Amino acid sequence: MPPNYSRRYRTNDTIQVNVIAEHIRTFEQLEASRRTEDQQLREAIVKAAETLQETPEAGKHIAGDRIPKEYIRRHGRGVSFWKYDILGSWRLIYTIGREEGMILVTLVEWMTHDEYERRFRY
């Protein structure tokens, strides 16, 4: 099951961490895989989700001019994207939002560092 955590934030807001719907299947495939690399990646994603639940801004903010147009189409303008380094050369992309007194951390995508550099034009 993909990470889905809820807890209290220091301002008494609840923090909820979710995986974007289109990647739930990918996460479940990692869970079902017997490959060591897949299990390590799954564990790294879960650990990152736990860290982000404690400290949503633990990652590095991605500058607005680096955001791919595809992300803007899917998530809209004004959405703040963040990068969290996991498992050596893997990167976790997430957003931080607010809804009804709750802080929402949404895990958008995970990718290798090379994929990250291509997608975000570094």
Tell me the pLDDT tens digit for each residue of 70-98.
Answer: 999 998 888 899 999 998 899 999 999 88
Q: Where are the domains of the chain?
A: 5-119
Q: Is pLDDT at 67 greater than 80 in this prediction?
A: yes
For 18-33, what is the HEC assignment?
Answer: EECHHHHHHHHHHHHC
pTM of the model: 0.85
Distance CA 105, CA 96 (A): 5
* Domain formed by 5-119, architecture: 2-Layer Sandwich (3.30)
Q: Are 56 and 49 in contact (CB under 8 A)?
A: no
Confidence of residue 66 (pLDDT cuts 50, 70, 90): very high
At 9-34, the pLDDT tens digits run 455 678 889 888 778 888 889 889 99
